[in-house]
C-alpha cells in the first residue's frame, strides 16, 4: 500500500536542485492572508456572485450529465438491447463511441466549445455534461449488465412487455448505486466548474485566477474560504444522505473473496462483504471508478438474508411493490423496520421535487440558452493545415513527459495519503489538521497550486507533478479516511490491546485489509490524472498540456487537433491499463 510512495525518493532528491526560495516573502504573504481575508463588501459580493455562478454551472452540468448518462446508459446496455430487440451489437457500438467523449478532459471540451460557440453560459455546462455523461453512461450500463437477470427473465416469460419488465426488474436494484455515484459526481462537478473558471469560463475560478495573478492574496482568500465552506457543506450533506438512505459507500473495503468472477466489461471481480459488516457498506463501491464494481451489486442483491449480521438490513431483489419506481427503492426489503423504506422513498421524491425547480430557476438566472450551443460560429480560415509542422512537434518528448508527469503525480498522491495517516497516527490533533489540508488540496485547482509552487520551485515537470499530486492527494486522502472510519477493525483493536504501537496497529490492523481496494482506486485515479495533466500545462515543460496551451494561443487548429487525438489515445490506453491493474488487484489472491 505504501509502495507508490517510493516515488518520493527521486522527487525529494531532486527538490534541492529545484528550490530557489526566491519567493519566500510572497509565499509568507500568501499564508498570512489566510487569516485576514478581505471583508470588503465589494470583494465579498463579487466572490459570492462568482460562487453562485460556479455552483450553478456545477449543478446544471451535473444534472444534464445525469440525464444524458441515463439515456446513453440504456442505449449502451447489452441487457436492454437484448431484451427489447434481441440484438447485442448496437450496445457495443454505442459503448465504443462513448469512449471518445469520455477520454477528453472537461477543460478541453470547454475550450473547444468556446471556440465554436463563443462566450456562453451554456458552454461551461456542456463542457461538464459531455464527458461526465459519457462516464455515467459507462458506469450505469456496466451495473445494468451485471445485475442478475433472473427477475427479468421471469417477468418476460410471464408475458410482460420489454420496457415494463426492464424497469421493474432492473430499476430498483440499480437505484442505490446510481444515487451514490450521482452524489460523487456532484462533488466532482463542483471541482470541475471551479477549474473551468480558472481558464476563463466564468465563476469563482476566474476571480481566483485574477486575484492570484495580481497577487491580491487577501481577496483571494475571501473566495477560497467561501468555496471551502460550500465544498464541505456539499460533501457532508451528501455523506449524510448516503447514510440516511443507506446507500453504498465509495470504497468497498471487504477482503476479496474467492469464487465469484465478474462478467462486466473491464470490471473487477466480485468482492463479497467481509464478516462483521453490513452488506450496504460493501455494496457497489463505485468511487467513480470509471466503472463501478457491478459484481458487488449483484452479490449484494441476490444474497439471502444472513442471520447474525449486526445490521438487520439485507437487500433482496424483490419485485417492485407498488411504490413509484422512479423514486421508490422498492427492491430493498427491510427485515426489521419496513417503515424506513417508505420514508426513504418519500424523501427521495421530495429531494427531486426541490431540485427540479431549483435547476430551472438557476438556468433562468444564468440566462442559459441551450440552443446557443447549436449556433456555431465559423472557424477562422487560416489557410490550409500544415501537417508538416504538426509532425515537427517533438512528439516522443511530449508523450514521454506527460506519462512521467502522471506517474510521479500518481505515486505522490497514492503513496502519501496512507503514509501521512500512518505518521500522524499517534497524535490525535494531527487528524483535523490533515483533514483541513486535504480539503484545501481538493479545493485548490491544480493550475493555481502550480502558480504558487513557482514561487518556490523552478518551472518544470516535477513542479507540475507536485501540483497535480497535491490536488489528488486531497481526494484520495479523504476517501481513505472515510473508509478507515467506516469499518471497524477488530484486528487493529486487538493489536492495540496487545500493546503494539498505534502506527503499527493501523498498518497491520486496518490498512492490510484496505490495501487492495485502495490501490485499485489509486489505479483509477492515475488514469484520471493522465487526463488532468492538461491543466498544469501552465508551468511549462509539462508535456502535451503545455504544448496544447501554446498551440491554443497561436490558434494552430491542426496542432490542436493532433494533440487532442494523441491525448484521447493515451487516455484510452491508460484506462485499459488501469482497468487491468484494478482487476488484478481486486482478484482473489
Contact 57, 193 (CB under 8 A): yes
Identify which of residues 382 and 569 has a Cβ nearer to other proteins in the complex.
Answer: 382
Contact 118, 376 (CB under 8 A): no
Identify which of residues 45 and 71 has a Cβ nearer to other proteins in the complex.
Answer: 45
Nearest-approach distance from CB 364 to other proteins, in angstroms: 8
Identify which of residues 23 and 263 has a Cβ nearer to other proteins in the complex.
Answer: 23
Identify which of residues 523 and 560 has a Cβ nearer to other proteins in the complex.
Answer: 560
Between the CA of residue 212 and those of 26, 204, 489, what are the distances in Å? 11, 12, 44
Nearest-approach distance from CB 223 to other proteins, in angstroms: 12
Three cell numbers written together for 210: 485574477
Identify which of residues 48 and 325 has a Cβ nearer to other proteins in the complex.
Answer: 48
Contact 264, 295 (CB under 8 A): yes
Question: Distance between alpha carbon 339 and the CA centroid of its chain, in Å?
Answer: 33
> What proportions of the chain, in percent to the nearest 5, are helix, strand and coil?
70, 0, 30
Nearest-approach distance from CB 553 to other proteins, in angstroms: 4
| 295: alpha, beta or left? (left if phi > 0; alpha if psi -120 to 50) | alpha
Nearest-approach distance from CB 333 to other proteins, in angstroms: 18
Identify which of residues 34 and 351 has a Cβ nearer to other proteins in the complex.
Answer: 351
Strand, helix or coil for residue 252: coil
Contact 276, 310 (CB under 8 A): yes
Identify which of residues 154 and 554 has a Cβ nearer to other proteins in the complex.
Answer: 554
- Of 280, 267, 264, 409, give the one whose Cα is nearest residue 332: 280
Contact 486, 510 (CB under 8 A): no
Cα distance between residue 141 and residue 77, in whole Å: 5
The 10 Å Cβ neighbour count of residue 343 is 12
Contact 461, 15 (CB under 8 A): no
Three cell numbers written together for 550: 501554446
Identify which of residues 20 and 431 has a Cβ nearer to other proteins in the complex.
Answer: 20
Nearest-approach distance from CB 127 to other proteins, in angstroms: 13
Nearest-approach distance from CB 288 to other proteins, in angstroms: 27
Cα distance between residue 466 and residue 523, in whole Å: 18
Strand, helix or coil for residue 212: helix
Between the CA of residue 228 and those of 28, 195, 222, 414, 453, what are the distances in Å? 21, 14, 10, 23, 20
Identify which of residues 256 and 537 has a Cβ nearer to other proteins in the complex.
Answer: 537
- Of 53, 34, 478, 27, give the one whose Cα is nearest residue 224: 34
Nearest-approach distance from CB 402 to other proteins, in angstroms: 15
Cα distance between residue 537 and residue 547, in whole Å: 7
Identify which of residues 32 and 214 has a Cβ nearer to other proteins in the complex.
Answer: 214
Nearest-approach distance from CB 472 to other proteins, in angstroms: 23
Nearest-approach distance from CB 391 to other proteins, in angstroms: 14
Phi, psi (rounded to 5 degrees) for 256: -65, 145
Nearest-approach distance from CB 203 to other proteins, in angstroms: 8
- Of 55, 56, 584, 46, give the one whose Cα is nearest residue 364: 56
Contact 378, 117 (CB under 8 A): no
Identify which of residues 85 and 215 has a Cβ nearer to other proteins in the complex.
Answer: 215
Nearest-approach distance from CB 518 to other proteins, in angstroms: 34
Amino acid at each position: 500500500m505504501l509502495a507508490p510512495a517510493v516515488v518520493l525518493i527521486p522527487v525529494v532528491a531532486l527538490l534541492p536542485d529545484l528550490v530557489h526560495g526566491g519567493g519566500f516573502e510572497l509565499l509568507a504573504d500568501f499564508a498570512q492572508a489566510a487569516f485576514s481575508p478581505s471583508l470588503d463588501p465589494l470583494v465579498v459580493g463579487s466572490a459570492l456572485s462568482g460562487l453562485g455562478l460556479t455552483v450553478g454551472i456545477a449543478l446544471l452540468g451535473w444534472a444534464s450529465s445525469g440525464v444524458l448518462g441515463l439515456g446513453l446508459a440504456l442505449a449502451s446496455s447489452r441487457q436492454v438491447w437484448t431484451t427489447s430487440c434481441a440484438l447485442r451489437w448496437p450496445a457495443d457500438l454505442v459503448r465504443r463511441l462513448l469512449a471518445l467523449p469520455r477520454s477528453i478532459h472537461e477543460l478541453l471540451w470547454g475550450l473547444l466549445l468556446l471556440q465554436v460557440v463563443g462566450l456562453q453560459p451554456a458552454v461551461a455546462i456542456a463542457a461538464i455534461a459531455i464527458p461526465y455523461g459519457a462516464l455515467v453512461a459507462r458506469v450505469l450500463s456496466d451495473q445494468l449488465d451485471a445485475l442478475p437477470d433472473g427477475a427479468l427473465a421471469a417477468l418476460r416469460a410471464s408475458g410482460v412487455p420489454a420496457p415494463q419488465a426492464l424497469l421493474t426488474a432492473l430499476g430498483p436494484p440499480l437505484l442505490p448505486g446510481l444515487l451514490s455515484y450521482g452524489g460523487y459526481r456532484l462533488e466532482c462537478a463542483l471541482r470541475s466548474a471551479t477549474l473551468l473558471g480558472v481558464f476563463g469560463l466564468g465563476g469563482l475560478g476566474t476571480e481566483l485566477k485574477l486575484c492570484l495573478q495580481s497577487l491580491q492574496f487577501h481577496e483571494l482568500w475571501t473566495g477560497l474560504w467561501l468555496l471551502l465552506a460550500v465544498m464541505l457543506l456539499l460533501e457532508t450533506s451528501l455523506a449524510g444522505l448516503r447514510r440516511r438512505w443507506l446507500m453504498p459507500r465509495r470504497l468497498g473495503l471487504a477482503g476479496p473473496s474467492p469464487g465469484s468472477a465478474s462478467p462486466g466489461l473491464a470490471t473487477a471481480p466480485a468482492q463479497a462483504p467481509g464478516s462483521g459488516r453490513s452488506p450496504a457498506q460493501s455494496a457497489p463501491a463505485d468511487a467513480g471508478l470509471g466503472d463501478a464494481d457491478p459484481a458487488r451489486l449483484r452479490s449484494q442483491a441476490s444474497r439471502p438474508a444472513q442471520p447474525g449480521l449486526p445490521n438487520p438490513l439485507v437487500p433482496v431483489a424483490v419485485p417492485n411493490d407498488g411504490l413509484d419506481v422512479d423514486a421508490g427503492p422498492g427492491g430493498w426489503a427491510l427485515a426489521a423496520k419496513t417503515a424506513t423504506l417508505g420514508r426513504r422513498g418519500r424523501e427521495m421524491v421530495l429531494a427531486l421535487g426541490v431540485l427540479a425547480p431549483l435547476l430551472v430557476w438557476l438556468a433562468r438566472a444564468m440566462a442559459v440558452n441551450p440552443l446557443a450551443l447549436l449556433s456555431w460560429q465559423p472557424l477562422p480560415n487560416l489557410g490550409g493545415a500544415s501537417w508538416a509542422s504538426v509532425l515537427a512537434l517533438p512528439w516522443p518528448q511530449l508523450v514521454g513527459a506527460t506519462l512521467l508527469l502522471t506517474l510521479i503525480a500518481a505515486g505522490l498522491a497514492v503513496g502519501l495519503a496512507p503514509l501521512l495517516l500512518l505518521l500522524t497516527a499517534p497524535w490525535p490533533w494531527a487528524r483535523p489538521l490533515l483533514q483541513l489540508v486535504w480539503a484545501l488540496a481538493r479545493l485548490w485547482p491544480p493550475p493555481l497550486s502550480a502558480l504558487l509552487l513557482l514561487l518556490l520551485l523552478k518551472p518544470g515537470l516535477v513542479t507540475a507533478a507536485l501540483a497535480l499530486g497535491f490536488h489528488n492527494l486531497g481526494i484520495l486522502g479523504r476517501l481513505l479516511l472515510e473508509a478507515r472510519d467506516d469499518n471497524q477493525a477488530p484486528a487493529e483493536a486487538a493489536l492495540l490491546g496487545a500493546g503494539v504501537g498505534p502506527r503499527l496497529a493501523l498498518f497491520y490492523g486496518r490498512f492490510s485489509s484496505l490495501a487492495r481496494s485502495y490501490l485499485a482506486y489509486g489505479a483509477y485515479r492515475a488514469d484520471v490524472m493522465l487526463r488532468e495533466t492538461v491543466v498544469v500545462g501552465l508551468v511549462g515543460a509539462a508535456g502535451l498540456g503545455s504544448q496544447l496551451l501554446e498551440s491554443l494561443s497561436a490558434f494552430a487548429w491542426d496542432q490542436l487537433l493532433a494533440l487532442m487525438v494523441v491525448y484521447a489515445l493515451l487516455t484510452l490506453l491508460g484506462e485499459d491499463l488501469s482497468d487491468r491493474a484494478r482487476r488484478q488487484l481486486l482478484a482473489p489472491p
